[in-house]
Amino acid sequence: MIKFTKALALAGLAAGLIATSAPAMADDAPAKEFTLSGSIAVTNDYVFRGFTQTKEDPAIQGGLTLNHKSGAYIGIWGSNVEFGDQNGSGNSTSMELDVFGGMSGKFGNSIFGYDVGAIFYSYPGDPTGQHFNYWEFYGKVNADFGFVTVGTGFVYSPNFFGDTGDAINVPLDVSVPIPLGSDKFSLSISGELGYNKYTQTGATWDGIHDDYLNWNIGATLSITDWFDIDVRYHDTNLDSVFCKNLCDGRVTVMVSRSL
């Protein structure tokens, strides 16, 4: 049986978006040393880098991030997954729990931002000997032109999911705000193109290819102080027959709320 490797990361970090603040006025309160942010979400399918992580079943996700005014941050994020018994041990993996940290900010007063950090992906209860847990290190930059935000970066794992050796991901993100003339609603169109490659000889994503492209495009409607609705199409250039329909084209619908 072909064993399929996991291609995922945190959706929120993948976008590489940099939050900025307006200059403080003289009578404004000083910025807090630390702030805590978070989110919860429900989606019909957990997809990352083109691969479903739940075999097209729904997922409940959530996370918390502690932010320092310097731009440093640490956080935790979790979701249900569905990998099943991959080695006949009788054990299966139903949970992903990630810990991450880094530094984000802007280059002076320019339109350019950055985000650098690391993520540790863990899978409590993973089958013995499967080595699901792994690290990724990332560096990303973006430019906010007002009418469009573009970003790219480089993500590296020294030993990817399943003990498959070095792997890289190079994303290209674009987000365009759509004016609605409303303080209650906001809309954006966004997409990502990603290049993924194993650098270790013999490691493949689908039993054949050591590299592939993934992409997604969708729209996000935000209702101020309530929730966001994201509808998105995902696909890859891999043959769905070889990846057992885990990497074929699919539509996801996510409802999320910031905490």
pLDDT tens by residue, 189-212 = 999 999 999 998 788 888 889 999
CB-CB neighbours of 132 under 10 Å: 20
Is 9's pLDDT higher than 60?
no
Is 52's pLDDT higher than 90?
yes
- The CATH code for residues 11-18+34-258 is 2.40.160.40
How do the domains of the chain map onto residue ranges?
Answer: 11-18+34-258
Q: What is the percentage of the chain residues whose pLDDT exceeds 90?
A: 73
Confidence band, pLDDT 50/70/90 cuts, at residue 91: low
88: tokens are 């006949």
pTM for the full predicted model: 0.87
- 104-139 per-position pLDDT tens digit: 999 999 999 999 999 999 999 887 678 899 999 999
Is 164's pLDDT higher than 60?
yes
